[in-house]
Chain A
Amino acid sequence: MSGAFVEVEDLVKRFNVSKPWLNRVLERLPEQTLTAVSGVSFEIEKGQTFALVGESGSGKSTVAKMVIGLLNPTDGTIRIDGRSTSDAAEATALRRRMQMIFQDPYASLNPRWRIDKIISEPIRVFGLLSDEAAIDRRVGELLELVGLDARDAVKYPHEFSGGQRQRLCIARALSSNPEFLVCDEPTSALDVSVQAQILNLMRDLQDELGLTYLFISHNLAVVRYMANRIGVLYLGGLVEISDTKELFTAPAHPYTRMLLDAVPSVAQVGRVRQPVQGEIPNPINPPSGCVFHPRCPFANDRCKAEVPALKVHDGRSIACHAVDEGRLPIGAEAAAA
């Protein structure tokens, strides 16, 4: 499908994690690279939310940073509204149209700056308004948009609680009138009652301003509430991309099934279960074949040898030999079996 607002194709990020040169020479060690993201592709339609979920070390934040331009991809292309971010001239033009919301609202606001200076920084950097009175008015509007008071502009970050700080971060992100927001775990530092406020606010703003979100989270319940489409990452690769409803009602990939089963839920008081064994492997020495095979109950010899590609099954993409061969039924087939 072409014409999606955000198109990410075969994104790869490798980090060099070798020891210093002298150690390598003395100890006769080769260079070591860590593949944090390997060939990730997805598209986001305008006005939609695409979520990336995965456990720590799955590469979700690395993808977010590459999309926003905080990290340079080793390989692959990112196009936003048809323009490639690897082209320097186009990237500058795109800057204003995309913003990021970070996880920790305590670390992402400068404690020595007043709120009006923090929120107006993008306006000044991009030269959107030059009249001081107009800037002040705009800051007041933004504060009210995120549920704060225009008079809060003269305060400092320490005078706000965690939830209010995240509102400030959202106001700052919105100040350059962006169309696309990358949100990296925006609520995982917040308490549940405050998390609900921020998630509701983000959805209201999306409806009001037609924003497109790339939403990164490890919390599946939050993702279900926010996203239209979800990509599940495991050890740097996408294992499944599905519409939210399908992913939760009929997860296809064995990892997605495991992840959904592992989430403790208030609806299941006193549930007894058999958790899947093992942990996410070290990305410096990933397993051969399908990287999930050591933990997968459906793995066979082919899974150990051959890397599965993402293949489309009924509008969802799944990277699994078992699903591909029909050993593991999905969706309606699973219900019939």
Chain B
Amino acid sequence: MTEALLQVRDLVVEFPTRHALLRAIDEVSFDVHRGEVLGLVGESGAGKSITGAAIIGLLEPPGRIASGSVTLAGERIDGLPLEQMRKIRGKKIAMIFQDPLTSLNPLYSIGRQLVETITTHLDMTDAQARARAVSLLEDVGIPAAADRLDAYPHEFSGGMRQRVVIALALAAEPELIIADEPTTALDVSVQAQVITLLKKLCAERGTAVILVTHDMGVIAETANRVAVMYSGRIAEIGPVEDVVHKPQHPYTVGLMGAIPDLEQEGDRLAQIKGSMPRLDRLPEGCAFNPRCPHAFAPCCEAKPGLYEVGASLAACFLHDPARASDAQLEAAQ
């Protein structure tokens, strides 16, 4: 296989607070290949948005990358000076945020915002940039694009605004787009339109996408591979088909059971007891062990690494060949 576009290795993000040093991301590693959609799912506080922010260098201070590396197309991009990072941001990596109303400047027309982005990153005159802006708006499905160029964000509906944001993200032909909950603020019928559009445009351009969301349904329909996060670590990563239909980590199993599905009759939902621990009160060992129905001795002692199960990797001692027999023994007792 060719080298991955983005390689994240042992990424650790820390937030120093008055009381303690909080580890929001704890040794997270994954690859994103060209043209691939990687889903990052997890509940609130799992660290999925922080992972995206760390990659694009938008961590809010005092948050910082404490160790590990982020490599884009063979080049280290973590810890770059501000000026160099600004050239990568928007040009090589673009970001789409959750709320299209707050990610557009309400005082500038959308044309001006698009032209500004294009001329910053590409060597174009204003007239060329305007022409490119029109074609981008046409690509994202905005009717009468040339006329709407001088409209302001408040003149667009929610779904149309998110299309404009996608056009902005695509403006400089980035290699990677980080989409942080791009459809959470939208209604289902509009969400379907935006997801279909994002999928189509990225497939056409070979753009890689990191799709951060809490909605497993969106991931199932959009992503090629998915990483499930829990308390700042990857619990399971693998092809979307496997993770959704044959989840290996007890947390993923619980998560899948907890989602009410349209296809099922109203049986009782499976529930995971308790809730995700706070970062300052992480349990010893595997962070999931107090809620895990299969927890056994080593779970309270050490953090599990990622073990291979089929085509997926799961961070669970149940899948550690050296320990699996212990787990069966304990279950039998």
- Selecting from B10-18, B107-115, B239-247, the interface stretch reads B239-247
B258's partner among A161, A196, A203, A224 (CB-CB below 8 A) is A196
CA distance A224 to B262 in the complex (A): 7
Which label, helix, strand, loop or mixed, suits the secondary structure of the B interface? helix
**Which residue from chain B places its CB closest to the CB of A219 in the assembled complex?**
B260
1/0 contact trace for B237-259 toward A, CB 8 Å? Answer: 00011001100000000111111
Chain B residues contacting A226 (CB-CB under 8 Å) are: 266
A220 pairs with B262, CB closer than 8 A: yes
A200 and B269 contacting across the interface, CB-CB below 8 Å: yes
B220 contacts across to A, CB distance below 8 A: 264-270
CB atoms of B258 and A195 under 8 A apart: yes
Q: Is B192 an interface residue (CB 8 A)?
A: yes
Residue of B nearest to A58 (CB): B187
Establish whether residues A224 and B269, one from each chain, have CB atoms under 8 Å apart when the complex forms. Answer: no
A224 pairs with B188, CB closer than 8 A = no
Task: Tell whether A193 pairs with B189 under 8 Å between CB atoms, given A266-B220, A267-B263, A270-B240.
Answer: no
B192 and A221 form a contact (CB under 8 A): no
A277 at the interface (CB under 8 A from B): yes
Would you call B196 an interface residue if the criterion is a C-beta within 8 Å of the partner chain's C-beta atoms?
A: yes
In contact, B261 and A221 (Cβ under 8 angstroms): yes
Are A279 and B271 in contact, with the CB atoms below 8 A?
Answer: no
Known: A192-B255, A265-B263, A266-B220. A280 touches B187 (CB 8 A): yes
Confirm or deny: A163 has a beta carbon within 8 angstroms of a beta carbon on chain B: yes
Bound together, the chains give a CA A260 to CA B261 distance in angstroms of: 11
Write the nearest CB–CB distance from B63 to chain A, whole angstroms.
Answer: 22
Closest chain B CB from A311 CB (angstroms)? 25
Q: Which residue from B189, B269, B275 sits with its C-beta under 8 Å from A225?
A: B269
> Which of B195, B254, B258, B269 is the one whose CB lies under 8 Å from A264?
B195
Question: Is A56 among interface residues, defined by CB-CB distance under 8 A?
Answer: yes
Select which of B189, B244, B272 is within 8 A of A55 by beta carbon: B189
Main secondary structure, interface of A, reads helix
Contact B218 A264 (CB under 8 A): yes
Closest residue to A204 on the B side, CB-wise? Answer: B268
In the complex the two chains form, is A221's CB within 8 Å of B196's CB? no
- Complex interface: chain A residues within 8 A of B215 (CB): 264
Closest to A264 in B: B217
B268 contacts across to A, CB distance below 8 A? 200, 203
B191/A264 in contact, CB under 8 A: yes
In the assembled complex, how far is the CB of residue B272 from the closest CB belonging to chain A, in whole angstroms? 4
Partner of A191, one of B188, B214, B217: B214
Which A residues lie within 8 Å of B245 (CB)? 269
Chain A residue with minimal CB distance to B190? Answer: A279
Would you give the shortest CB distance from B226 to chain A, in whole angstroms?
Answer: 10
- Shortest beta-carbon distance from A153 to chain B in Å: 20
Which residues from B are CB-within-8-Å of A200? 268-269, 271
Q: Which residue of A lies closest to B241 (CB)?
A: A269
Residue of A nearest to B143 (CB): A277
Contacting residues, chain A, for B222 (C-beta < 8 A): 264
Nearest A residue (CB) for B240: A269
In the complex, chain B residues 196-243 whose Cβ is within 8 Å of any chain A Cβ: 196, 214-218, 220-222, 240-241
Considering the complex, give the chain B residue whose CB is closest to the CB of A56: B187
Q: Evaluate contact between A191 and B192: CB separation under 8 angstroms.
A: no
Task: Tell me if A305 counts as interface (CB < 8 A to partner B).
Answer: no
Q: Is B116 an interface position by the 8 A CB rule? A: no
Q: Which residue of A lies closest to B199 (CB)?
A: A272
Q: How far is the CA of A27 from the CA of B270 in the complex (A)?
A: 59
Q: Are A196 and B159 in contact (CB under 8 A)?
A: no
Residue from the list A191, A219, A260 in contact with B44, Cβ < 8 A: A191
Q: Does B43 contact A (CB under 8 A)?
A: yes
Determine the chain B residues whose CB is within 8 A of the CB of A269 once the complex forms.
Answer: 220-221, 240-241, 244-245
Contact yes or no, B269 A273, CB < 8 A? no
Asked if B120 is at the interface of the complex by the 8 Å CB criterion, the answer is: no
Alpha-carbon distance between A273 and B218 when the two chains are bound, in angstroms: 13
A271 cross-chain contacts in B, Cβ below 8 A: 221
Across the A-B interface, give the 7 residue pairs with the lowest CB-CB distance, nearest first: A264-B217, A191-B43, A196-B258, A275-B192, A55-B187, A262-B192, A196-B269
22 contacts between A and B (CB under 8 A): A55-B187, A56-B187, A162-B44, A191-B43, A191-B214, A192-B43, A193-B43, A193-B272, A193-B275, A203-B268, A218-B188, A220-B262, A245-B265, A264-B220, A266-B220, A266-B244, A266-B261, A267-B263, A268-B220, A270-B241, A275-B193, A279-B190
Starting from the known contacts A161-B275, A192-B258, 4 additional A-B residue pairs (CB-CB under 8 Å) come to: A192-B214, A193-B255, A196-B272, A279-B159
